Each structure stands twice: as structure tokens, then as C-alpha cells.
Amino acid sequence: MDIAITGASGLIGTALIPALERSGHQVVRVVRGGPHDGISWDPVAGTIDATGFEGIGAVIHLAGAGIGDRRWSDKVKRRILTSRVDGTRLLATTLAELNRPPSVFLSGSAIGYYGDRGSELLSETSAVGTGFLTDVVTAWEAETAPAAAAGIRTTFLRTGIVLSADGGALAKLLPLFKLGLGAKMGNGKQWWSCISLADHVAMTTWLLENEVAGPVNITCPEPTTNATFTKTLGQVLERPARLAVPSFGPKLVVGAELAEALLFTSARVEPLAATAAGYQFAHPTLEDSIRSALAVDSNS
């Protein structure tokens, strides 16, 4: 199958592309600027090479500004929102107008949809939450509507915390944990819903071939509290992890709103849509997922 991918240079994209190619797929990158071998687009300018998508079998949309790259100013928050909304709108409307549209559109999303929900067990049928990230995800998903209306199977990849030694939350935590300075965040009771990068890639690939539409939680079947995450990572690394970081610490460093959203929001998410459709996790537990990430690191 010919597959077009936006966000190809990101953490997930760089792992997904070789996996797809090993499975026999042909990957076309959707990129800005030129000259290059991919499909050109510029979501800010609203331009796209629509002809490059004619006859493509599937589109995987992963592009969007980093959520936790910098302190949230009004400008940064606007960029987070518009990078997702504008890009998805441009892509979905373009696909809907093709003579030979793709059969599948997998569009990036996030478990931020659910907001801060304490210990409530959340599935794809759970109600939307509140907060900035919830507003972003809701608007982001809504922009896929033209593709779905055109008969393209459209799936939202509601991604949790992706565990990789090469980027994301785990990569930032590893140096401290390896020094024996691992610490839970606040009281550690907030739920973190994680997934190994390998399972994210495998589930995305699986979704290309399986008739699952709408929201799909990309998390492992075992959500865990931050306290348990901290303890488990310390045990895997064979380092003590008995400290606790008071909540005001990260809030002073990166800002209260960003710290609250990324570190202290509680979302206990389960991947019911995927498991009900038959997806089998390679790393179903937190410990499995961490060990997978560290094994990748040790081989690099």
C-alpha cells in the first residue's frame, strides 16, 4: 500500500516509517519546502500538492507543534492549536475532493480529550473533559469531518504517554532516575496512561488493515499512577526512586498551566476499541513498556 505521512520526522514518525517499509508498504513523506521526493504542503499558507495524494492508499497525519517544548504563553498556545486545526482541515478537505481518495485516514489525537478525571476509568465512549488540551483535541478531531463525510475511514489516534528513550517524557526522566534521583510528582496519585513506542507503531500499522473508525485510545491496557510509574522505572533501572517533587517545583520551572496539564492531570485510560477489535499488545504492562524502551536505547 502507498501511504502518505505528515510529521514524518517526529518521534513516532521516525519509528513508524521503517516499520511500514519492512511490512512492504511504500511511504511518501508530506513535507514543507523543497526540492524533495515527497508531497509538498504548507498548513500555515494553506497550500498543498493535492495531485500527490491521488491514488494513495492511506494517509497518516502526525504533524503538530510540540505540547511541552516550552512554557505556555498565549502565542505558544495559539501555535499548538493552529498547527493541529489548520493542518488537519487542509488535509481532510483535500482528501475529500480527490478523484481517487485514500481508503483510510489515521489522524493524530491525544488522551487530553478526557481532561483531568481523577480515578475514573475512561474509554473511547467517555465524555469529553475540560481544559486547554481538551479544547485543542476536540477542535483537532472535528476538522477531519470532510474526509469522513467523503467515505474515507477516519480514525483518531488518541495517544497517551509514549515511552521511548529517544524522546518524550521518559527520555527527560531517565538521566535523573539513572542517578538515583527519581521522584514521584506531587502525591503521585494522578493516573498516567502510557504505551511503548513499539506498540504505538504496531497499533498504527494494525489500524491500516482493520476496520476501526472514530476514536482509538493508543495506550497499554494497564494505566498506572505516577507513584507506581516512578517505583517501576526505579526498579527496572535498579536505582532508588523514593523522592517526591512538590507540585510547586515544576510549576515554577515551566509554568503552572503546562505543569498541571502534563504532570498532574489524571487520566486513567483503557484501549477498549483496539482490544475489542482484536489488537494484541506486545507490551501490555508498564514494566513491559519501559523495558522495551530501554532495550531500544541499549541497542542504539
- Residue for cell digits 512554557? 71
Here the CATH number for the domain that contains residue 171 is 3.40.50.720
Q: Where are the alpha helices (DSSP H) in 46-114?
A: 74-96
Task: Give the contacts of 17 (CB within 8 A, at least 6 positions apart).
Answer: 5, 8, 27, 29
- Residue for cell digits 465524555? 127
The closest of 283, 261, 288, 287 to 271, measured between CA atoms, is: 283
Q: What's the domain count of the chain?
A: 1
| Opening angle at CA 167, ends 204 and 115, nearest 5 | 65
Return the H-helix or E-strand segment holding 155: strand 153-159
Return the H-helix or E-strand segment holding 225: strand 224-225
* Confidence (pTM): 0.95
pLDDT tens column, 154-212: 999 999 999 999 999 999 999 999 999 999 999 999 999 999 999 999 999 999 999 99
211 pairs with which residues across the strands?
Answer: none
How far is Cα 111 from Cα 219, in angstroms, rounded to an integer? Answer: 9
* Statement: residue 253 has pLDDT above 90: no
Q: How confident is the model at residue 34 (pLDDT cuts 50, 70, 90)?
A: low
* Statement: residue 137 has pLDDT above 70: yes
Burial class (CB in 10 A: 0-12, 13-18, 19+), 255: middle
Q: What is the overall mean pLDDT for the chain? A: 95
The pLDDT, as a whole number, for residue 33 is: 76
Residue 293 and residue 163 in contact, taking contact as beta carbons nearer than 8 Å: yes
**Domain encompassing residue 10:** 2-298
How far is Cα 204 from Cα 58, in angstroms, rounded to an integer? Answer: 12
Taking residues 262-272, report their average pLDDT: 97
The pLDDT, as a whole number, for residue 300 is: 34
